[in-house]
Each structure stands twice: as C-alpha cells, then as structure tokens.
Amino acid sequence: MEITVDGDPLTVSAEHTGSSDDKDHSEFRYGSFLRSVRLPGQIPAEGVEASYEDGILTVRVPMETEPPARRRSVPVKRPQAPQTGEPP
C-alpha cells in the first residue's frame, strides 16, 4: 500500500496478489486500486498519519482551521430596457 501527497490531492494505491494450490486445483488472484481525494487546502509536510487495521485504512491529515465563509448576496446587473415614447 502506498499513500502519496502532491499539493492538495492525497492518493492511495495498493496491489494484492494471492495464490492457492491444492492437489486438483490452482488459483491465482490479483487486484489493484488507486483513489485520489482532493482536500480543501495544502496538506502539511508534517503530522500526516496512516494506519491499517482489520481491513480499514485510516488517514489523519491536520488541516489549518479557516474561518467559515460568510454568506453574502451578489447583486445581479441587468441592462436597462430602452424607454418608449420619449426621445433620449
């Protein structure tokens, strides 16, 4: 298993190979996966931790706290319609 960081995406990739043999049968299995997650900011170089237990991967990334974005209204400009009946 490999976890890499390049800017703000965090990528997890892994491969699994296995085989079983008995007297009458042989079986080979192979699987791989790659997942990337874009986080809402730069991932710090220090403090990232990963653990794998009972089939569960846990990745902890300390992110800087930012103040929540404030809700605001944005005015919408519309072109003025020409007035009828009066010369400009």
Residue ranges of domains in the chain, CATH in brackets? 2-60 (2.60.40.790)
53-86 tens-digit pLDDT: 998 899 998 877 665 667 777 888 888 877 666 6
For the beta carbon of residue 26, count every other beta carbon within 10 angstroms.
9
What's the pLDDT band for 88 if we cut at 50, 70, 90? Answer: low
End-to-end CA gap in the chain: 73
Is 21 a residue whose pLDDT tops 90? no
pTM (2 d.p.): 0.57
Q: Which of 21, 15, 60 has its CA nearest to residue 34? A: 15
